Structure 1
Amino acid sequence: MVLVGLNLRPALSSLAPLLTRIQQDTGLSPLAIGALTTLPVLCLGLFAPLAPWLAKRLGPEQTLAAALLLLAGGLLLRGAPLPVLLFTGTLLVGAAIGVAGTLLPALVKRELPTGADLMTGVYTMALCLGGALGAGLSIPLADLLGGWHAGLASWSVLAAVALVAWLALMPRRRVGVAVPGAAGSTRELLGQPLAWQVMLLMGSQSSLAYIVFGWLPTLLVARGYGEAEAGWMMGASVMVQLISALGVPWLARFGRDQRPALLLVLGCVAAGLWLLLLGPVDWRWAGVVLLGLGQGGSFSLALTLIVLRTGNSRLAGKLSGLAQGGGYTLAALGPLGVGVMLQFDVGLPVVTLVLLLVTAAAAGFAWLAGRNRRLEIDEHGQLVTRR
């Protein structure tokens, strides 16, 4: 699970530092580049709801193996010289990550029911490490391998390693054990306000995360930083996420209400964005640290809520599909919106204001989703929300 988590972000974070080179080499417009950063996030949302359906028919373990195979193929295809193949490979990568990322919370809930929140923090930490490696090594790999094509394709090796390890070490269960559809249908889930609150929190905080993955280096270059420095600043910020990705869920488990922890980390996100984009240059590394602590904690808590707000692994799988499917579909608007603003030469102050407004919206959803509630199946077989 940790190796799988390590592969769910380099495909996204490795693209951002190379956007300037890709644009110069392919002649794509800022709007087209924005679509390129939006496509994988949109695919996360569109394909995440398929994960429970595939897991029911193939088994969650085999479905995850197929997703890793698709991820490796998409990464290889993305390194092809034709822009159409760059977009096609990016679509396949997004689909693979959408399915794999949705299955992990349900597998964690099933395999480690008593320590699911801590295990969620562990694989989220691996996920953040992968994102940091993708951001920090993107430019060096492109320089070492002779261009951005080979640099992007080289990440398929990591996916292949994870696939081999998963096939060798994955738990062996019968098809249909993890996420059957008998209890708690998606229609019932949509009738529960708690499910919507978790989904909207996932979407709003993920929108900020994918704006950072897709556009932060470009925004930092527009601020006046060098290309390599901007890439390392983003990589350092993602690396800092390792601390809060593991630590915040551990701290949050001491209380039954996760609202204080959620508001704290979202406040760090807001402060970090302001320092990096508008604040004093001397405070840029403080901004890097605050942004990393905030985003690592908010993403880890959002995933942890999927586990904490459900009574069993079946409901966790259903809620994971809904929260990540709907959430990532909403999140895709973030990178696209930044691309549109840059297309029309909107200045950094306006971009920063929009990002802070999204953070404020995430805080509002966190206030609702962070309350001590749980989705359960009652004695009559109906899905209910209990305190």
Structure 2
Amino acid sequence: MTTALSPRGKQGALLIAGILMIATTLRVTFTGAAPLLETIRSDYGLSTAQTGLLTTLPLLAFALVSPLAAGIARRFGMERSLFAAMLLICAGIALRSLPSAALLFAGTAIIGCGIALGNVLLPGLIKRDFSQHVARLTGAYSLTMGAAAALGSALVVPLALHGFGWRGALLMLMLFPLLAFLIWLPQWRTTRSANLSSSRALHERGIWRSPLAWQVTLFLGLNSLIYYVIIGWLPTILISHGYSEAQAGSLHGLLQLATAAPGLAIPLILPRFNDQRWIAALVSLLCAVGAAGLWFVPGQAIIWTLLFGFGSGATMILGLTFIGLRASSAHQAAALSGMAQSVGYLLAACGPPVMGKLHDASGSWYLPLSGVTILAIIMAIFGLYAGRDREIAS
């Protein structure tokens, strides 16, 4: 059976709790490994570029699986597809924690497939059930997943150092998808009429020929690229500047917390402006300043980490909001979301290994951090275009 009613009361509260917990899982199970990359590399004797694959594999999965997510949701329903996403993440975490380099990479890829499903379906679920509160709920789940990711990043190193080892520390992250699975159980039998339809508008090819769609896509895509470079390599960069592994892990957690902070401010600011160009440019330039500062004044890493994290988090929320604001219909929004996530994560997948290669070739992090700074400036330019008050033609 289906219902067109928006969720209310206890049902709505459970649905929101499930959305927030799933969003938390999508972030923490990916970023939680970054503070332990140096330990993992030493354990398996991996090169910098090979270690970068641990960051790249999920991103490739995001790019490849994202276009398939809508079809999976049409066949099985959005609620059950999100169950499947949590199960995939659990399976990937289990495999990643086994004593095998091959399973380390395989488990990481499987985690990426689960995250990709959730990344695409959650915005659609919010648009369907909370269409009047998209900005607020987007800000809320950004805040929640950033805070939880910060906690995960801060805890994995102490867990690894106090008896669990890096495998046990990463295995502990399975608590997040398991908890999300339990909270999501009441949604198992729910299939609402506003689910993703099979309309060809969802797969509309015309969106790929729209300059505005590309501006939104590249604004989000460049943010994904620089975010995953910094989130993947920040602990290693800090350790190279003399920080301890525990200090680097704590700053990595602070970065996650900083990305969550805009979830409090951006949803309150955006309704006051029809044109978001200068906000988009400003938060993009915060990322540029943060990346440059990490190289030129590494002793003040806490400042640069906060600036980059706030800028990146604000850019992500703006980009997700642009998908709804620039689309002229719900189906077009779904098409734009699929385009932005697929292209964006494909761009992001190139970042960590390329920056790892640049580091190996130059022997320092100057070139990688310079590259991130330049890309953030280019992102600001795309933000000036994507933030204009206009819609993509139907």
Please tell me the TM-score bracket, short chain as reference. Answer: over 0.9
For residues 93-150 of structure 1, the C-alpha deviation after alignment (integer angstroms, 9 at most, x for no partner) is 1111111011111111111111111111111112212321232112022224421111
For residues 23-52 of structure 1, the C-alpha deviation after alignment (integer angstroms, 9 at most, x for no partner) is 111111111111121111121111111111
Q: Is the 8 A contact 1:8 1:97 kept in 2?
A: yes
For residues 254-301 of structure 1, the C-alpha deviation after alignment (integer angstroms, 9 at most, x for no partner) is 1111111111111111111222222261x3322122122111111111
- Could you say which structure has the higher helix fraction? 2
Structure 1 gaps, min length 5: 376-383
Work out the CA distance in 2 between the residues paired with 1:182 and 1:30. Answer: 44
Which of 365, 369, 373 aligns to 1:352? It is 369
Q: Is the 8 A contact 2:202 2:334 kept in 1?
A: no
How many angstroms does 1:3 deviate by? 0.6
Structure 2 gaps, min length 5: 1-18
1:91 aligns to what?
Answer: 109
Q: Secondary structure at the match of 1:80?
A: coil
1:374 aligns to what?
Answer: 391
2:127 aligns to what?
Answer: 109
Identity %: 35
Work out the CA distance in 2 between the residues paired with 1:33 and 1:179. Answer: 40
How many angstroms does 1:327 deviate by? 0.7
Residues 1:284 and 2:279 are matched in the alignment: no
Work out the CA distance in 2 between the residues paired with 1:94 and 1:10. Answer: 12
1:158/1:280 CA distance change after superposition, 3 Å: closer
Residues 1:255 and 2:273 are matched in the alignment: yes
1:226-305 to 2 correspondences below 5 Å? 226-279=244-297, 281=299, 283-305=300-322
How many angstroms does 1:316 deviate by? 2.4
Moved more, 43-52 or 312-321: 312-321
How many angstroms does 1:346 deviate by? 3.8
1:218 aligns to what?
Answer: 236
How many angstroms does 1:245 deviate by? 2.7
Task: Report the AA paired with residue 78 of structure 2.
Answer: P
Task: Report the AA paired with residue 237 of structure 1.
Answer: L
Which of 165, 174, 178 aligns to 2:183? It is 165
1:200-219 to 2 correspondences below 5 Å? 200-219=218-237
How many angstroms does 1:184 deviate by? 4.6
Q: Secondary structure at the match of 1:114?
A: helix
For residues 220-260 of structure 1, the C-alpha deviation after alignment (integer angstroms, 9 at most, x for no partner) is 11122111111111111211222213312331221111111
RMSD over aligned CA atoms reads: 1.8
Q: Is the 8 A contact 1:106 1:314 kept in 2?
A: no
Q: Is the 8 A contact 1:42 1:328 kept in 2?
A: yes
1:256/1:171 CA distance change after superposition, 3 Å: farther
Q: Is the 8 A contact 2:147 2:257 kept in 1?
A: yes
1:53 aligns to what?
Answer: 71
1:317 aligns to what?
Answer: 334
1:80/1:291 CA distance change after superposition, 3 Å: same
Work out the CA distance in 1 between the residues paired with 2:73 and 2:203. Answer: 15
Work out the CA distance in 2 between the residues paired with 1:170 and 1:286. Answer: 44
Q: Secondary structure at the match of 2:201?
A: coil
How many angstroms does 1:90 deviate by? 0.3
Work out the CA distance in 2 between the residues paired with 1:97 and 1:254. Answer: 33
Which of 137, 141, 144 aligns to 1:123? It is 141
Task: Report the AA paired with residue 258 of structure 2.
Answer: V
For residues 142-190 of structure 1, the C-alpha deviation after alignment (integer angstroms, 9 at most, x for no partner) is 2244211111111112101101211224782247723433325331221
2:203 aligns to what?
Answer: 185
Normalized against structure 2, the TM-score is what?
0.91
1:380 aligns to what?
Answer: none
1:342 aligns to what?
Answer: 359
Q: Is the 8 A contact 1:105 1:307 kept in 2?
A: no
1:170/1:359 CA distance change after superposition, 3 Å: farther
Q: Say how many residue pairs are matched.
A: 376
Task: Report the AA paired with residue 214 of structure 2.
Answer: W
1:259/1:132 CA distance change after superposition, 3 Å: same
Task: Report the AA paired with residue 14 of structure 1.
Answer: G
Q: Is the 8 A contact 1:59 1:175 kept in 2?
A: no
Work out the CA distance in 2 between the residues paired with 1:301 and 1:116. Answer: 12
Q: Is the 8 A contact 2:57 2:108 kept in 1?
A: yes
1:318/1:144 CA distance change after superposition, 3 Å: farther
